[in-house]
Amino acid sequence: MKIRIAGTVNDSIVDGPGLRYVVFVQGCSHHCPGCHNPETWDPNGGKEIDTYDLGSEMAKNPLLSGLTLSGGEPFDQPVASKSLATHARMHGKNVWCYTGYTWDEILEKNSQKWNALLYFVDVLVDGPFVQEQKSLDLDYRGSRNQRLIDVKKSREKGEVVLWTPEKW
């Protein structure tokens, strides 16, 4: 399956816990002022690549903790993003997904394709980047309005449950 991406990072330590393979999906309809990836906004920019090739590249590194889908907007390419998330899970990796949509917007949309992607996401970093709420003191997010949502626990409880890091 093809996906349009802006690029990848093979060994990120800032896009979720542990060492992560990050895919920056190309195309974003949010256009958040102050976005640190405005080059990802154009849905026709970047390059097209096969999700299998990205998954194979990710699988080469046994030190990776997981896959992070970032952007751009992964929910603008939900089927291809789900393909990557599925690949990650097949290799024992967890999946984080950054989105400009809020949890409530995703649930209200009730899109079969969005729900299929969400099924494979462990942690959803939701909400648009808000310049006025920017903080460099936040873990894994850029502005205070964004939440780190534990998807499985949130679905089980029927309400948002925030992700908390494992205690050592």
Residue-wise pLDDT tens digits, 55-69: 999 999 999 999 999
For the stretch 25-54, pLDDT in tens is 999 999 999 998 999 999 999 999 999 999
Number of residues assigned to the chain: 168
For the stretch 82-113, pLDDT in tens is 999 999 999 999 999 999 999 999 999 999 99
User: What pTM value is reported for the model?
Assistant: 0.96
| Residue 40 DSSP SS3 | helix
- pLDDT category of residue 10 using cuts at 50, 70 and 90: very high
| Residue 125 DSSP SS3 | strand
78 by Cβ neighbours in 10 Å (0-12 / 13-18 / 19+) ranks as buried
Kindly tell me if the per-residue pLDDT of 166 is higher than 90: no
- pLDDT category of residue 135 using cuts at 50, 70 and 90: very high
Q: Nearest-CA neighbor of 85 among 74, 76, 100?
A: 74
- What pLDDT does residue 70 have? 97
Beta bridge partners of 150: 123
- What pLDDT does residue 101 have? 98
Structure tokens belonging to residue 25: 């999906």
The CA distance from 133 to 144, in Å, is: 5
Kindly tell me if the per-residue pLDDT of 167 is higher than 90: no
**112 C-beta neighbours (distance < 10 Å), count:** 7
Kindly tell me if the per-residue pLDDT of 168 is higher than 80: no
* Residues contacting residue 137 through CB under 8 Å, at least 6 positions apart: none
Delineate the domains of the chain, giving CATH numbers in brackets.
2-157 (3.20.20.70)
Per the listing, tokens 């599925």 go with: 86
For the stretch 123-133, pLDDT in tens is 999 999 999 99
